Structure 1
């Protein structure tokens, strides 16, 4: 399958009503860039392309024309089996990511393998230090997804808490990270919240998300409410 055939396939999968709905959730994405392909169908196509012709997808020029082409690339990257190739493709692609949806669906399967934990931790910290908002958001997301359980390190709280990027979707990801940390590593995260180290907006948003979470106990939620600023 070549690039023009991939684009034609995407339009064959188009759902106009879904396009209108998904566009409403992504105000930063021009509606003309959205074809309207449902995510499960796009994932299935990506899985087939990753097996048959990954280099065709990964060789498409950046920036890509359509939102679904971005996501298709991300899903193909997620299927790659070589760590160095995954990181190289991410480093090529991430600077062109311009919305939260594409950023948050980037979840390489290889990153679940604990044998790569040390390398992933280093790369995640490199990404979160980037000034480009969605590169930074992706790095925070990797620490949240892969290092709030067995691989948790208290220094990660300070790394994420010290991210100085005013972009809304970065601040939201910082809040999401701390809300998840309050669910998974409460003893450590609560000390950071108690110390008022986060900016007021991020501090309060972290508490809000934690209070809304089913993973945080009622007792902890009650205490968190007293820490609002």
Structure 2
């Protein structure tokens, strides 16, 4: 490990908040390598890294495993500093998003980064940071296709969250709906991503999305979760919410 990466890991440990670690762990069941560093703090640190030799940092970071070595006492926050915490993986994604590089180089780093996505916070934070998509939608759409067709839970979620972040547009809606209908995966975080995406499409493009809600191939769980998210939105009128409630699928024995 280089001195630079070690110093970054040491800073992450210094910035950790135990109460926030406990809170974060409740939101990400099964994750044991959480330090408890808040997202605004990570974004600030990423901004500092991109002003330096960020390529060298990413190159070394991408070569390392993301699974922690937990101490004998079982304290997850004391995972071996030879391994990356969830926060360091979040940080790497933010560096890719913030770095001054052209699209193809960012996609190169993204390809290396995606296998490290193993929880929804890393996935969703990375998608949010990849704002270069706004200027290159066609090329990024092409890049996303293998992930949308993947059989891996977090690769699919990555693709779906990218759609809801950057492709809620009339010209992309039919293509997105076709993907949602085709995705068949039992992973909870896939189903919830699709439900979330469908709700965002309805909220922003109700005229295009309502026919899809009335005729789609979504499984009952995903469909009903999408309706629930629409109903919970403050951006949807009450009479529309009543209509959406009436579309809920009944459980069948």
What interval of TM-score do these two structures reach, taking the shorter chain for normalisation?
A: over 0.9
The corresponding residue for 1:97 is 117
Indicate if the aligned counterparts of 1:35 and 1:68 stay in contact, CA closer than 8 A.
Answer: yes
Instruction: Please give the per-residue CA displacement for 1:89-128, whole angstroms capped at 9, x wherever unaligned.
Output: 1111111211001000002121122xx1111111223321
The corresponding residue for 1:41 is 41
Q: Which runs of 5+ in 2 are unaligned?
A: 67-82
The corresponding residue for 2:16 is 14
Greater C-alpha radius of gyration: 2
Residue 74 (structure 1) aligned with residue 107 (structure 2) = no
Query: Structure 2 matches for 1:34-183, cutoff 5 A?
Result: 34-59=34-59, 60=61, 61-64=63-66, 65=83, 66-80=85-99, 81-106=101-126, 107-113=129-135, 116-149=136-169, 151-183=171-203
The corresponding residue for 1:2 is 4
Give the whole-Å Cα distance in 2 for the aligned partners of 1:62 and 1:133.
Answer: 21
The corresponding residue for 1:204 is 224
Indicate if the aligned counterparts of 1:95 and 1:132 stay in contact, CA closer than 8 A.
Answer: no
- Say if 1:157 and 1:96 are closer, same or farther in 2 by CA, change over 3 A: same
Q: TM-score, normalised by structure 2?
A: 0.84
**What is the total number of aligned residue pairs between the two structures?**
225
Cα RMSD of the aligned pairs, angstroms, is 1.5
Q: TM-score, normalised by structure 1?
A: 0.93
